[in-house]
Amino acid sequence: MNGIDSLDVAGKVVLLRSDLNVPLDGTTITDDGRIRASLPTINKLRERGARVLITAHLGRPKGDTYADRVAGGPSLAPVAARLSELLGVPVPLASDVAGDSARAIAAGLADGDVAMLENIRFEPAETSKDDGARAELSGRLAALADLYVGDGFGALHRRHASVYDVPELLPHAAGDLVQAEVAVLGQLEHPSRPYVVVLGGAKPSDKLAVIANLLDKADRILIGGGMSYTFLKAQGYEVGKSLLEADRLEEVGKIMADAAAHGVELVLPVDLVGAVDYAPDAEHQVYPVTAFPADRESLDMGPATRELFAAKLADAATVFWNGPVGVFEFPAFAAGTKAVAEAISELRGLTVVGGGDSAAAVRRLGVPEDRFSHISTGGGASLEYLEGATLPGLAALERS
């Protein structure tokens, strides 16, 4: 895969696909990690005299037409404003994706300038399964620029026009973030042992494929958070009103049997924090998994599980962690996720945190980011990489 060094960017308009999909509270950015992670490539291009035109998505705009989506938002305006602050230069935002405003902005760029196109997902064709629809959009995007750099690691698992089709049309390279992410995830193919994986997040269905692929590689898989309740239920425990994927119980049972057959230790919570409902101030109590009440819902793992997970991590030489193990957004239910983050941050081996939510959790809970070897900007993308899947955006960048 070629890097930026393979392109002569001076004086050229470079269409840069970044992943600037940050969490928002209204129009306030609650975690700007993805914007900061995109800065090295942007700065490198600027230093080399490129005219940087950024395309990125934000959220999942709804509506069948471009007009509906623009009306519903979200606009990239808060992201352009934050990027401008971080770079210390103006970052104008086109009022459209690949129309008159985009063309005017592109034509007005001087060497070293940075500008952005509006939310690429305002164009329904961006995410279309119809090759022709995507081709029309990617043609318009490519016409804005001379070169393409793919640096949106977190979106590489999407077969979208700006990720997958545009690099077909322009001389292209992978940005520094994509190269760094791929280098680290590649190291997990041949891990130093013990290799311990911690998986959390809402649903087992998102993680079954990665667990299956990890059975040949990991020594221990610790399962917490929303997905763990389906595992506990499959073992016959009461999980009350906790998150459950009832239609996955059979598959989950099978994966537990496969893990045992592979000699992979699968570790589940032994106690849970049961709340009366899903609310930041919900009345709550710790219960062993053997005695969880039918009318409660678990929002975090309990103290015995925090200790158990820390003990199972203590000797790890390699760790991959994806997904919070409790509702860390509510301070009363953040102890489990904080304990996992702290236990991993104590380790000296290769420690990789994957995923927007876990990365945001690390920062929100105040665990220093530099205590981890790598905090990935891609949740879905890093999981699909570890599943052994071909990421469409990576394949596109690898094509010459």
**Distances from the Cα of 238 to the Cαs of 248, 271, 272, in angstroms?**
16, 12, 11
Which residue is catalytic, options 203, 241, 363, 371? 203
Nearest to 311 by CA among 372, 357, 354, 265: 265
User: Other CB atoms closer than 10 Å to residue 139's CB: what's the count?
Assistant: 14
Options 87-95, 151-159, 227-235, 277-285: segment touching ligand 3PG (CB under 6 A): 151-159
Cβ at position 338, least distance to ligand 3PG in Å: 23
Nearest to 80 by CA among 91, 89, 95: 91
End-to-end CA distance of the chain: 8
**Cα separation of 315 and 265, whole Å?**
14
Cβ at position 380, least distance to Mg ion in Å: 4
Which residue is catalytic, options 152, 356, 378, 379? 356
| Nearer Cβ to ligand 3PG (8/68) | 68
Asked if residue 324 binds ligand 3PG (CB under 6 A), the reply is: no
Which residue is catalytic, options 12, 17, 34, 134? 34
Interacting residue with ligand 3PG among 51, 158, 364, 374 (CB under 6 A):
158
Burial class (CB in 10 A: 0-12, 13-18, 19+), 330: middle
Do 78 and 51 touch, CB atoms closer than 8 A?
no
Asked if residue 181 binds ligand 3PG (CB under 6 A), the reply is: no
Q: Catalytic: 12? A: no
Site size for ligand 3PG (CB under 6 A): 9
Interacting residue with ligand 3PG among 12, 19, 140, 219 (CB under 6 A):
19
Cβ at position 121, least distance to ligand 3PG in Å: 8
Asked if residue 380 binds Mg ion (CB under 5 A), the reply is: yes
Q: Catalytic: 236? A: no
DSSP 55-89: E---S----SSHHHHHHH---SHHHHHHHHHHHTS
Interacting residue with ligand 3PG among 5, 11, 60, 67 (CB under 6 A):
60
Asked if residue 62 binds ligand 3PG (CB under 6 A), the reply is: no
Do 58 and 79 touch, CB atoms closer than 8 A?
yes
Q: Catalytic: 34? A: yes
Options 163-171, 215-223, 247-255, 380-388: segment touching Mg ion (CB under 5 A): 380-388
In the chain, DSSP assigns E strands to: 13-17, 24-25, 28-29, 51-55, 114-116, 147-150, 172-174, 195-199, 220-223, 265-267, 271-275, 284-288, 297-301, 318-322, 350-354, 374-375
User: Other CB atoms closer than 10 Å to residue 311's CB: what's the count?
Assistant: 11
Asked if residue 21 binds ligand 3PG (CB under 6 A), the reply is: yes
- Identify what 19 binds: Mg ion, ligand 3PG, none; CB under 5 to 8 Å per kind: ligand 3PG
Q: Which amino acid is at 97?
A: V
Options 152-160, 208-216, 329-337, 339-347: segment touching ligand 3PG (CB under 6 A): 152-160
- Contact residues: ligand 3PG, CB under 6 A: 19, 21, 60, 154-155, 158, 356, 379-380
Give catalytic residues, as residue numbers: 34, 203, 356, 380
